Chains A and B, each alone.
Chain A
């Protein structure tokens, strides 16, 4: 009997959830829109398009053109063109028609950059210095006494697609955003909005098992979470050619767990607000704050330490980080992941139970 009630309620709540246009937009379309926007912005770092280097040979230039071209050609992420005047080069840089300008002078190399290229300049500067170092070695026959070997810490990432960490981290972050949009508002909707509208009062008059209803409510958000996750994965493959080394055994359960964790956060909001409108607004504000401080779109490492501390208290930060590990973007630390996820899940379930028990279905 309880199972039948659970299944019926799940079906009704799922359909009603998926019929809501705003829901579809925030859970399914908004993460896709952001994927296209930020994916396109960050994919500039993935070296799919070579950066354009302008070369200006001054009258005093002493470095051989052949040697310079040889070094630049070895760097496949760069294409170059010669320019006839310094002013023309700076103008092209200013108009975003090139990424860097190299001025070859009397035994000197000067690199010029556009300061407005906030995202690209650090990588460009490193490329510039590696070119200069290589030319110094070849032109002057220097000995490389100290050689450096970069060793990356063991990572489970086997994603074949090239890309910066920020670019690859975007996709797990967007899946986390989909889970957050799917789970955050549900408790508010049911235990405040439904109550305000008298829906719960009418349901209390019916022979319905409250536990079956709450379980059905939790389950009803899962199809949207799964759909959102698949849309991001498919679109990232088609649009950006990115595929991930996903640990499916962890991934599928985590989609459910992540949604429940966000429901728990929604339950916490419900404890502080009595009116549906206030609770929805507070949830929206918190979601927006979480989006900016959880490192989905922008790296949080450059924020002041107090903002970094704040991000540790946001569930979306943990969801995004866990999905990055599960999708092979960062190193999988199973013990930490289990501890963190388990802790958040227990707290969330307790919060949902508190709200479900505390809410009177009959009082309006």
Chain B
């Protein structure tokens, strides 16, 4: 027991002394989660403002209220006065400015990224068909969205004009609506939260790093330097060494879980019961699978330098194709196959299901069976091939 404690404390002290390890293992998952939630989680919608130029003919006094420029300007004025105004900033030409000059200037601003869209309203008589030009910048996502939003507003206007013209009554129009499906049946979980969806993925990512990077790096480094060989010349047994390092990995992983959960709770207002027995089971299972995979890598790649490269080459596809950060069902071909045989895909499905965040698209049997195959396969291969001192390096 004393030997296990010594090995455990040795790794813990080493880790605490190394500020870069602390960054990669404890802080980086939080940064990754924050970036992904900010980009995909709709947490920053309030920061988005579409800057739109409206190039319309001069509205003169006495102009008929039902002329297109007046109607369109009225609609945009009403948007500016409504709660939706925070989404838009409209730019119109100055009184003494010519229309063509204004258009030219605004198109330049669109190209330089100062506008998301330029809407050109031509001068035509009421009742005639009008072609509104929407200038957008296809390489900018915000510009594409702004074009979609303005198109929707114009479609709505079309319907209103048809009603005003007596072509159709409001009741006759086809009512169009959209909604998001409820993901879980429980009322408390009726609203989907991307941050909650992400938390199990980030936890699993941390475990994968613990098993495939930290564990593998520590053993391969000590193995290559012949330290393990010298250790095992003392009364220290391999099992004690392994238990000590495993204890350290478990402590590190527990710290990661607490940090990830705490961060998401404070900043993204998540509500997850992470102490559910099923979730705790999946976390332990994931950690064991990751460590088994680590042993497998150490068995087949003996050279320290190669081990580092191979672990990196394994971690990224496993994480991104495992659906840890976003769902991967739209993949096709070989990449889809790589996702389907990836144990992380089943583990993260199981974890989300256990927390009541998202019902697993794969069956419970597969969620246990596929990672278990990887785990036992790794253990069997490792039991034949793994060596604490490969090639007699000293």
Contact = CB atoms under 8 A, between A and B. Distances in A.
A108 B175 contact: yes
A44 B330 contact: yes
A310 to B, nearest CB: 11
Interface stretch (A147-155, A187-195, A203-211, A227-235): A147-155
A33 interface: yes
B44 A116 contact: no
Interface in B207-228: none
B57 interface: no
A30 B161 CA distance: 56
Contacts, number: 239
B180 interface: yes
Interface in A286-304: 288-289, 292-293, 298-299, 301-304
A145 interface: yes
A142 B169 CA distance: 11
A64 B28 CA distance: 54
A144 B39 contact: no
Contact of B172 (A21, A33, A140, A146): A140
A33 B107 contact: no
A153 B47 contact: no
Nearest to B309: A25
Interface residues on B, range: 35 or more
B154 A329 contact: no
Interface string A91-131: 00111100001000001111111111111101001101100
B100 to A, nearest CB: 16
A51 to B, nearest CB: 9
A322 B96 CA distance: 38
Given A63-B174, A136-B173, A324-B139, A146 B161 contact: yes
Given A96-B327, A165-B144, A331-B139, A116 B158 contact: no
Interface stretch (A34-42, A262-270, A338-346, A351-359): A34-42
A63 B174 CA distance: 9
Interface centre among B36, B175, B332 (most CB of A within 10 A): B175
Interface residues on A, range: 35 or more
22 contacts: A22-B305, A29-B309, A37-B321, A93-B181, A94-B181, A94-B359, A95-B361, A107-B175, A109-B175, A116-B192, A119-B40, A125-B178, A129-B155, A136-B173, A142-B162, A142-B168, A148-B134, A152-B136, A165-B140, A298-B35, A298-B40, A301-B141
Interface of A: 21-22, 24-25, 29-30, 33-34, 36-38, 40-41, 44, 49, 63, 90, 93-96, 101, 107-120, 122, 125-126, 128-129, 132-133, 135-136, 139-155, 165-166, 169, 277-278, 281, 285, 288-289, 292-293, 298-299, 301-305, 307, 324, 329-331, 333
Given A143-B161, A298-B40, 13 more contacts: A25-B313, A33-B313, A41-B331, A44-B331, A49-B330, A107-B174, A110-B179, A120-B330, A140-B174, A149-B132, A151-B135, A154-B111, A331-B111
Interface of B: 20, 23, 28, 31-32, 35-36, 38-40, 44, 47-48, 68, 107, 110-111, 127, 129-142, 144-145, 147-148, 150-152, 154-155, 157-159, 161-162, 165, 167-168, 172-183, 192, 194, 197, 305-306, 308-309, 312-313, 316-317, 320-321, 326-333, 335-336, 358-359, 361
